[in-house]
């Protein structure tokens, strides 16, 4: 009876040939500048080195005087390059971009307090939105980070219980009211002492802070929030 193993090597050769043929017909390009990518299949070193390292607590944290997080950081400044990459992640089915950037975040914070967490929790999408997008970009980031830290990603502990309006065009107060009560901890979830929440962009922080409040009420003692980027006006330095 065939096991499938007999065909694994030829199948792999065919796949490699087809991939090479596609690359020859449609040469890989940097998603940001169109040049040949020399860092990874979608990004060149020049564009990556243009990213501004922020590595700090977002300024908008001042709007959350009673916030429950023990530490909050964003790695990058949300510039045109990151805007393009995040657009590809959300709207061009490029989950691999999020996974790659997640690994970069994981590498950078590997020896920090963030990596000392017991579990990594991506900010969940509402079920309808997740079906439309087919994946959660925060989960893809979290899985990339997880590969560097060796800490498990837990997606089922927290649920987004209602479909909130898009936050894009809302001010900080509207965002806070829009997201209020949007998360619940699932029954029978056994939560650890230290959780690290992962999201792509920290704008006003309304979403991650609401999730942090939900976890604190459920008994989590220590909460870290780590995001890929924040839309502030100045980065600290180039990487």
pLDDT of residue 169: 60
For 98-118, what is the mean pLDDT?
98
Domains and CATH numbers, the chain: 52-238 (3.40.50.2020)
Residue 99 confidence (pLDDT) above 80: yes
Coil, strand or helix: which one is 42? Answer: coil
Share of the chain above pLDDT 70, in %: 81
Q: Report which DSSP code applies to 223.
A: E
- List 198's β-bridge partners, or say none: 122, 226
pLDDT of residue 162: 77
CA-only gyration radius of the chain, Å? 19
Lowest-confidence range among 21-25, 56-60, 115-119, 197-201? 21-25
Residue 19 confidence (pLDDT) above 60: no
pLDDT of residue 211: 96
How far is Cα 208 from Cα 39, in angstroms, rounded to an integer? 31
63 or 47: which carries more pLDDT confidence?
Answer: 47
Residue 84 confidence (pLDDT) above 70: yes
How far is Cα 58 from Cα 73, in angstroms, rounded to an integer? 7
pLDDT of residue 15: 55
pLDDT tens readout for residues 178-196:
788 889 999 989 999 999 9
pLDDT of residue 7: 36
pLDDT of residue 22: 57
pLDDT of residue 74: 97
Q: Answer whether 209's CB lies under 8 Å from 68's CB.
A: yes
pLDDT tens readout for residues 148-163:
999 999 999 999 987 7
Residue 4 confidence (pLDDT) above 60: no
Nearest CA among 227, 228, 224, 230 for reference residue 113:
224
Q: Strand 52-56 relative to strand 71-77: parallel, antiparallel, unpaired?
A: antiparallel
pLDDT of residue 3: 38
């Amino acid at each position: 009876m065939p096991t499938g193993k007999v065909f694994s090597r030829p199948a792999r050769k065919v796949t490699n040939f087809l991939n090479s043929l596609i690359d020859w017909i449609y040469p890989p390009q940097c998603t940001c500048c169109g040049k040949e990518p020399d860092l990874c299949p979608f990004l060149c070193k020049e564009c990556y080195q243009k990213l501004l390292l922020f590595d700090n607590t977002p300024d908008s944290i001042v709007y959350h005087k009673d916030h429950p997080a023990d530490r909050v950081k964003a790695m990058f400044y949300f510039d045109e390059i990151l805007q393009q990459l995040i657009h590809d992640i959300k709207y061009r089915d490029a989950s691999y971009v999020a996974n790659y950037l997640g690994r970069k975040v994981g590498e950078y914070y590997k020896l920090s307090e963030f990596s000392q967490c017991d579990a990594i929790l991506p900010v969940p999408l509402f079920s309808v939105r997740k079906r439309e997008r087919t994946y959660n970009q925060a989960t893809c980031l979290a899985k990339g980070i997880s590969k560097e830290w060796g800490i498990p990603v837990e997606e089922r502990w927290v649920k987004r219980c209602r479909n909130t309006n898009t936050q894009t065009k809302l001010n900080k107060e509207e965002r806070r009211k829009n997201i209020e009560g949007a998360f619940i901890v699932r029954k029978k979830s056994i939560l650890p002492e230290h959780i690290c929440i992962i999201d792509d962009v920290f704008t006003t922080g309304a979403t991650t802070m609401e999730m942090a409040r939900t976890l604190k009420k459920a008994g989590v003692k220590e909460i870290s929030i780590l995001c890929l980027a924040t839309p502030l006006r100045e980065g600290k330095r180039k990487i």
